[in-house]
Structure 1
Amino acid sequence: MLKEYLCDDLVFLDKEYKNYEDLLTQVMETLVSENYVEKEFQQALLDREKEFPTGLQLDGYAVAIPHGGSQFVKQDFVSLVTLKTPIKMNRMDDPEELLEVDVLFVIGFSKSETHLKSLKELMVLIQDPKVIDDLKKGTSIVSIL
C-alpha cells in the first residue's frame, strides 16, 4: 500500500537541514508545487508536532513520522527524508526527551482509514534496522517496500 503513495519527487536523500522547521520548509516547496497539499499543511504539521511529537526511539536509531492536517491534503502521499546530520525532535512516548532523528517519513492522507493503514505499515517497516540502514544508504525505497 505504501509504495502507491511514494513518488520519486517526494524522496529527499542525504539532505542537510538546520532543524525540523527548516526541513519542513524545504519539503513543503515540493509538496505545494506538485499539488499534494495546500500551504497551510506546514503549519498544521508544526502545531501537531508541538502537541503530539512523532519521534520514535527504536533499537539504536530514531525515526520520525510527522503527519496531520488532513484537511489540507489534496493528494495522498508519503515523503521520505534521510539526513546527513540528525536533527533534534521530541520523543513520542516521552515528549520532554529529545532524539537525534535522521530518517523521517512525512505523510499526508485525506482519509483517516488510509492514514491508519499506512501508519501501521510504516511502523512495521521502521522496526527493521536493515530497512533503515538501506534507506540511509540510498537503496531504492520502492524495492524495499
Structure 2
Amino acid sequence: MLKQYLYDDLVFLDKEYKDYEDLLSDIMNTLVSKHYVEREFEGALLEREKEFPTGLQLDGYAVAIPHGGSQYVLKDFISLVTLKNPIRMNRMDNPEEALEVDILFMIGFSKSETHLQCLKQLMGLIQDPKVIEDLKKGTSITSVL
C-alpha cells in the first residue's frame, strides 16, 4: 500500500537543514508547487508537532513522521527526507525530551482510514534497522519497499 503514495519528486536524500522549521519550509515549496497540499498544510504540521511530537527513538536511530492537516491535502502522499546532519525534534512518547532525527517520513492523507492504514505499515517498516540503513545509504525507497 505504501508504494502507491511514494513519488520520486518527494524523495529528498542527504539534505541539510538547521531545524525542523527550515526543513518544513523547503519541503513545502515542492508540496505546494506540485499540488500535493495547500500552503496551510505547513502551519497545521507545525502546530501538530508542538502539541503532539512525532519523533520516535528506535534501536540505535531516530525517525520522525510529521503528519496532520488532512483538510489541506490535495493528493495523498508520503515524502521521505534523509538528513546529512540530524535535527532536534521532540519524542512522541515523551514530548518534553528531544532526540536527534535523521530520517523523516512526512505524510499527508485526506482520509483518516487511509492515513491510519499507511501509518501502521510505516511503523512496521521503520522498526527494521536494515530498512533504515538502506535508506540512509540512499538506496531507492521503492526497492526497499
- The reply to whether TM is greater than 0.5 is yes
What is the Cα-based RMSD across aligned positions, in Å? 0.3
* SS of residue in 1 equivalent to 2:131: helix
CA distance in 2, matches of 1:83, 1:143: 19
* SS of residue in 2 equivalent to 1:124: helix
How far off its partner does 1:15 sit?
0.2
Counterpart in the other structure of 1:52: 52
Give 1:142's aligned amino acid.
T
How far off its partner does 1:27 sit?
0.3
| Matched positions, count | 145
CA distance in 2, matches of 1:14, 1:42: 22
How far off its partner does 1:85 sit?
0.2
CA distance in 2, matches of 1:95, 1:60: 19
* Alignment map for 1:4-83 (pairs within 5 Å): 4-83=4-83
CA distance in 2, matches of 1:132, 1:42: 26
Give 2:82's aligned amino acid.
T
CA distance in 1, matches of 2:96, 2:134: 30
Runs of 4+ in 1 over 3 A off after TM superposition: none
Unaligned runs of 5+ in 2: none
Unaligned runs of 5+ in 1: none
- Write the deviation string for residues 56-80 of structure 1: whole angstroms up to 9, x where unpaired: 0000000000000000000000000
How far off its partner does 1:18 sit?
0.5
Counterpart in the other structure of 1:130: 130
Give 2:129's aligned amino acid.
P
CA distance in 1, matches of 2:73, 2:116: 15
CA distance in 2, matches of 1:29, 1:137: 25
Normalised by the length of structure 1, the TM-score is: 1.00
CA distance in 1, matches of 2:44, 2:3: 24
CA distance in 2, matches of 1:16, 1:140: 19
Give 1:56's aligned amino acid.
L
* SS of residue in 2 equivalent to 1:96: coil
CA distance in 2, matches of 1:39, 1:54: 21
How far off its partner does 1:6 sit?
0.5
CA distance in 1, matches of 2:3, 2:38: 22
Counterpart in the other structure of 2:88: 88
CA distance in 1, matches of 2:136, 2:92: 22
- Write the deviation string for residues 106-128 of structure 1: whole angstroms up to 9, x where unpaired: 00000000000000000000000
How far off its partner does 1:50 sit?
0.1
